């Protein structure tokens, strides 16, 4: 099975301008396809921007099968590239910080709602999701999805490891002064859970926040396979099933677990 070439779109898009962000996504998908990528991953809340007023988040939120979802399905189909994008999802009276995976044929494969909301801003704007492990199959790999702060909880990522996730996609809005998460924590999570992690950040100032970029693809051997800088950038990395298999044979963490000792964690 060949590696899955993965494109990481480090960008904040244009705040509050869904149409412009769809155009930027279309252009990035074209570049990703031209570079041989089978998957394009965007940042958290890419569709609308992150640092919005709560009423604007509510106004711009769309259902998982809404107008923008259909437009992104067409972008994916036209370029033959799977797309994972962050957006505010409306479901009845609730608004979720969500991420949706669309296949290269334009079909919706998975929709995830952020389970761990960061700070007062997110807790006031969103309803927390209640499904920790969301997965789909793509190019022979089991793909998992979570969002930003979720990856900082070891239990979350371990749950994905136990469910067989091979490549964990993490759109994020990671800000100063927490860049150590991108630089140190994410590669450790990949190593201790024996998976690839694509961590894709926003960049630059936005409202009261300063996003630090530093998007990366970390591999199960703890190596950062690709790393973006601090600005707008499209970078590429390979999720290699053969490296994954070899690393899992060598690393004993999951085999040596003793779950009977961990009851106090819950």
Catalytic residue set? 44, 114, 148
- CA geometry: angle 238, 155, 220, nearest 5 deg: 25
Buried b (16+ CB within 10 A) or exposed e, 115-146: bbbbeebbeebbbebeebbbbbebbebbbbbb
| CB-based contact 119:152 (threshold 8 Å) | no
CA–CA separation, 87 and 78 (whole Å): 21
Report d(CA 145, CA 150) in Å as an integer.
10
Interatomic CA distance for residues 85 and 183, integer angstroms? 22
Pair 33, 81: CB distance under 8 Å: yes
Who's near 84: CB < 8 A, 6+ residues apart? 39, 40, 41, 42, 99, 100, 101, 102, 145, 169, 171
Q: CA-CA distance, 53 to 219, in Å (whole number)?
A: 36
Token pair of 146, please? 């979570």
| Residues 131, 122: Cα–Cα separation, whole Å | 18
Report the candidate in 206, 188, 208, 190 with the shortest Cα–Cα distance to residue 198.
Answer: 190
């Amino acid at each position: 099975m060949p590696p899955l070439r993965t494109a990481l779109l480090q960008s904040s898009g244009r705040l509050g301008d869904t149409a412009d962000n769809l155009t930027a996504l279309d252009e990035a998908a074209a570049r990703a396809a031209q570079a041989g990528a089978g998957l394009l991953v965007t940042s958290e809340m890419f569709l609308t921007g992150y640092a919005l007023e709560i009423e604007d988040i509510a106004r711009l939120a769309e259902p998982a099968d809404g107008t923008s979802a259909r437009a992104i399905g067409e972008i994916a189909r036209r370029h033959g590239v799977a797309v994972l994008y962050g957006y505010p999802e409306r479901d009845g009276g609730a608004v979720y910080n969500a991420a949706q995976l669309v296949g290269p044929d334009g079909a919706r494969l998975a929709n995830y709602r952020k389970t761990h909301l960061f700070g007062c801003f997110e807790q006031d704007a969103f309803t927390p999701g209640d499904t920790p492990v969301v997965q789909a199959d793509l190019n022979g790999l089991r793909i998992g999805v979570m969002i930003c702060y979720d990856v900082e909880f070891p239990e979350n990522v371990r749950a994905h490891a136990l469910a067989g996730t091979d490549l964990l996609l993490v759109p994020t809005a990671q800000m100063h002064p927490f860049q150590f998460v991108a630089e140190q924590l994410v590669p450790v999570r990949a190593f201790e859970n024996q998976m690839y992690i694509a961590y894709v950040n926003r960049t630059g100032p936005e409202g009261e926040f300063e996003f630090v970029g530093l998007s990366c693809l970390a591999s199960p051997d703890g190596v950062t396979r690709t790393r973006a800088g601090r600005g707008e950038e499209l970078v590429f990395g390979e999720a290699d099933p053969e490296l994954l298999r070899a690393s899992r044979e060598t690393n004993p963490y999951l085999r040596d677990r003793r779950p009977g000792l961990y009851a106090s964690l819950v």
